[in-house]
Structures are given as structure tokens and as C-alpha cells.
């Protein structure tokens, strides 16, 4: 075999010397496919003779062409982790790798991730929830396929998969009203995220539809509840009780974790649930069935949300037209013992 004399030997040189394609050489050197022993031996022999130096891709670079990125506000939140699990399973089934990043509820972190993903040649992006300004999402969607999970943009055609937050809150209020509850409160994190806005909208619509009084003294939207929801939910209720605030007959919350923190505070203060006050969560996380008493909540179909997000992203990657396409996933009310129904 004639040795090629060049300052920088490339895979093309190896291909010329062996009669093997560059793709096959790459598989041999990166161990990314099963290549026959004979071909492998021929390639490695040429590599040695030509003094070829193989430079592996940096470990923090994504694999171009078969990698999707998933960006969520909080990986520790069970809702997001279960959606992520479904996305990863769907991606694996289609020979894609899913890169998952948590933004810690910070816009600046979301922005940095997006720039890196696009620079690294990601195949597509799934944004779950989050606080990122619309302009960054629209810009990303002009460069790579994008799907939004658990949020949407008004007046834009980016494919979306959301829970029917408004509908399920209206049905929940109707159930409570039918059971005799008239003073209903609502506790959530601030309303910047789409899903929180929708739950609050559904709450207000349900109050009006059932001829109940909207009581602003029982409505609390607090940014601190974005993170450490159990601890901060308890702190919020501790503060309300210390200030001797009047209590509704039942509190609806935007998260099971917030509800658990509130229940802890109420128990410590001597309140009986549901005899003195009812509590309702949202998500139906693992903890919900094991609180005292077991928590009435709203079950989101997290597996379906995740699978549908990936399915729509894959359609977009493959060139199918799914613009102006919003998929709404039904949610189910789970009745347990934290309210009198």
C-alpha cells in the first residue's frame, strides 16, 4: 500500500487507500456500527501506515441529524420528568437521541440553551412550559422545527400540544358547586406561564358559570411558588394563618406540590381536611394518593403529552405540514378525600 505524504491526512485519504467509503471509515473509528472484521482490519492498517490522527467530536456536541432537544423550566418537577420520559422513549423508538435541559425557571438560561442547540445542528426543539419571550421561540422556529408543549403562542402557527386546562377547571368548579361549596379560593404561582393563565381563566369561568361570587381575598398568585413548591406553599399558608386571614371553604391549587405544602401548614394549625377546609391539587403526581387525607386532584396525561410532542416534531422534521395545529389533551378529575364530594 502506497503511503500518501501530506501534512494532514484525512478520512478521504484513508478511503482512497483502502477503497472503503468515508462513512464506513467513520463507523470503524467511532464504533458506531458493526463492520466486517476484514474491512475493519484494512481500515485500521491504513490508519497506522498513513499516521492518521483521529479526532473524536467534543463530548458536549450533539450528534447532528438524529438529535432533538427538550427544554423544560424545572427537571425536578414530576410533571416535566414524566413528560420527558415519554419523549425519550418515543425518540429512542425512532432512532433519535433526546438531549434534555432544565432552565431553572430562568429566561437567560433558556436563551443560552437555544443558541447552543441551533449552533450544534440540532434536528428539532421541544419547549415545555417556560418563560422565554416569544421572539426567541419564533426565531428558533425559523431555523429548526419547533413544537411547544404545555404552552402556546397567540397569532403564530407553531405546533402545540396542551392540556385542556380551562375545560377541566370549569368542570371542577361545577363539581364543587354541586357539592355545596360556595366560597372557593385559588392558589398558584404567578400567571406568566400559559398553563397557569389557563387554569386561572378556567377557574374564573367556572365561578361565573355556576353563579358563585368571585372573592379576590381568596386568590393568591405568587412567583415564589415556581420553585420549592412544597416548602413555599407551606410558607405562604403559614403567613396567611399568622395574619389571621379569612379562609374559603376550599382552595384549588395549580400544583399537587403546592397543595401538599398548604396541607402541612393547615394540619399544624389544627385545621381538619376536609371538614374545616378542602384542598385540591393539579397534576396527580405520585405523592397525591399518599397525603393525609389523599388529595383530590386533576390528572394530566403526561405520557400522551410527551409522545404527542415528539410525534409532531418528527412530522415537522420529515417535512409534513402541521402548521396551525394545536392538539388538546383531555385531563381527568381524580376524587379523593381532601374535599367533601
Share of the chain above pLDDT 70, in %: 90
Q: What is the pLDDT of residue 56?
A: 52
Among 297, 277, 300, residue whose Cα is nearest residue 287: 297
| Torsions phi, psi for 77 (to 5 deg) | -75, 125
CATH number of 1-56: 1.10.260.40
In this prediction, residue 286 carries a pLDDT of: 94
Note the pLDDT of residue 121.
86
Q: What are phi and psi of 242, to 5 degrees?
A: -65, -35
The helix (H) or strand (E) run that includes residue 159 is none
Q: Read off the pLDDT of residues 77-89 as tens digits, 9 standing for 90 and up.
A: 899 999 999 999 9
Helix (H) or strand (E) run with residue 101 in it: strand 97-102
Residue ranges of the chain whose pLDDT lies below 50 = 1-7, 57-63
Name which of 32, 28, 150, 134 is nearest 82 in CA terms: 150
What's domain 165-301's superfamily in CATH?
Answer: Response regulator (3.40.50.2300)
| pLDDT score of 33 | 61
Sign of CA dihedral 319, 324, 330, 331: positive
pLDDT tens figures, 135-169: 888 888 888 889 999 888 877 778 999 999 999 99
Domain regions of the chain by residue span: 1-56, 67-161+302-325, 165-301
Distance CA 198, CA 318 (A): 32
Q: How far is Cα 270 from Cα 123, in angstroms, rounded to an integer? A: 54
142-145 long-range contacts (CB < 8 A, ≥24 apart) are: 143/118, 144/117, 144/118, 145/313, 145/316, 145/317
Predicted TM-score (pTM) of this structure: 0.77
Q: For residue 273, what are the contacts with CB-CB under 8 A and spacing of at least 6? A: 263, 266, 267, 279, 293, 338
In terms of Cα–Cα distance, which of 89, 93, 102, 147 is closest to 122? 147
Phi-psi region of 108 (alpha: psi -120 to 50; beta: other; left: phi over 0): alpha
The CATH homologous superfamily to which domain 67-161+302-325 belongs is: Response regulator (3.40.50.2300)
Q: What pLDDT is stored for residue 57 in this prediction?
A: 46
Would the CATH topology of 1-56 be identical to that of 165-301?
A: no
Amino acid at each position: 500500500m502506497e503511503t500518501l505524504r501530506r501534512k494532514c491526512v484525512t478520512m478521504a485519504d484513508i478511503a482512497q487507500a483502502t477503497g472503503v467509503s468515508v462513512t464506513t471509515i467513520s463507523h470503524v473509528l467511532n464504533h458506531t456500527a458493526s463492520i466486517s472484521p476484514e474491512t475493519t482490519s484494512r481500515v485500521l492498517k491504513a490508519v497506522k501506515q498513513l499516521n492518521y490522527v483521529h479526532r473524536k467530536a467534543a463530548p458536549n456536541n450533539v450528534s447532528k441529524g438524529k438529535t432533538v432537544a427538550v427544554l423544560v423550566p424545572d427537571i425536578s418537577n414530576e410533571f416535566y420528568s414524566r413528560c420527558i420520559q415519554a419523549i425519550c422513549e418515543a425518540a429512542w423508538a425512532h432512532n433519535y437521541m433526546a438531549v434534555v435541559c432544565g432552565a431553572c425557571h430562568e429566561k437567560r438560561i433558556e436563551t443560552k440553551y437555544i443558541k447552543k442547540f441551533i449552533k450544534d445542528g440540532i434536528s428539532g426543539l421541544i419547549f415545555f412550559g417556560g418563560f422565554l419571550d416569544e421572539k426567541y421561540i419564533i426565531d428558533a422556529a425559523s431555523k429548526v422545527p419547533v413544537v411547544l408543549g404545555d404552552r402556546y403562542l397567540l397569532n403564530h402557527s407553531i405546533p402545540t400540544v396542551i392540556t385542556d386546562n380551562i375545560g377541566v377547571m370549569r368542570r371542577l368548579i361545577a363539581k364543587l358547586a354541586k357539592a355545596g361549596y360556595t366560597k372557593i379560593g385559588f392558589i398558584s404561582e404567578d400567571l406568566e406561564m400559559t398553563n397557569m393563565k389557563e387554569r386561572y381563566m378556567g377557574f374564573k369561568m367556572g365561578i361565573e358559570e355556576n353563579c358563585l361570587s368571585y372573592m379576590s381575598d381568596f386568590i393568591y398568585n405568587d412567583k415564589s411558588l415556581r420553585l420549592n413548591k412544597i416548602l413555599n406553599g407551606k410558607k405562604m399558608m403559614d403567613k396567611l394563618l399568622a395574619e389571621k386571614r379569612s379562609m374559603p371553604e376550599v382552595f384549588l391549587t395549580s400544583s399537587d406540590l403546592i397543595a401538599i405544602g398548604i396541607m402541612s401548614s393547615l394540619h399544624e394549625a389544627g385545621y381538619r381536611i376536609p371538614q374545616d377546609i378542602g384542598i385540591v391539587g393539579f397534576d396527580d403526581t405520585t405523592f397525591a394518593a399518599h397525603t393525609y387525607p389523599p388529595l383530590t386532584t386533576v390528572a394530566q396525561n403526561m405520557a400522551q403529552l410527551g409522545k404527542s410532542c415528539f410525534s409532531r416534531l418528527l412530522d415537522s422534521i420529515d417535512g409534513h405540514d402541521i402548521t396551525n395545529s394545536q392538539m388538546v389533551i383531555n385531563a381527568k378529575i381524580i376524587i379523593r378525600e381532601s374535599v367533601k364530594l
